[in-house]
Amino acid sequence: MELQYNELDTGIRIIKLSGKLDLNGTYAVEVDFVRLCAGTDLRVIVDLSKVTYLSSIGIPMLINSAKLVIRNGGRMVLLNPQKAVADVLKITGIPMIIPIYESIYTAVTEISK
């Protein structure tokens, strides 16, 4: 699992995850992921387009980080998950907590509101 971070001129943080978000993958990125989600009034887009697998170990990292962002006055959205990952997200009810968008334009527009 790899994590890449970028910040847009508007201050929106984009966290790109690549690989399997399983036990090993989650442990590999969790500290950096949570650190990037810490702060006040953050806008965070988590790009899941390169995540090939999402296990029950990775789900709490996403949910807990989203709750942290929300609790501190910010917003988090997920971007373009592959079908297998999107299916897991839907089954677990994550879209009720973290909105999912298929295009970066829509994600940026919605998170900026």
pTM metric for this prediction: 0.96
The pLDDT assigned to 84 comes to 96
The pLDDT assigned to 49 comes to 98
Its domain, for residue 104, covers 2-111
DSSP labels, 33-59: HHHHT-SSS-EEEEEEEEEEEE-TTHH
CA-wise closest residue to 63 among 33, 83, 106: 33
pLDDT in tens, 81-92: 999 999 999 999
The pLDDT assigned to 97 comes to 92
**CATH assignment of the domain containing 23:** 3.30.750.24
Into how many domains does the chain fold?
Answer: 1
The pLDDT assigned to 24 comes to 96
**Orientation of helix 23-36 relative to helix 58-71, angle to 10°:** 10
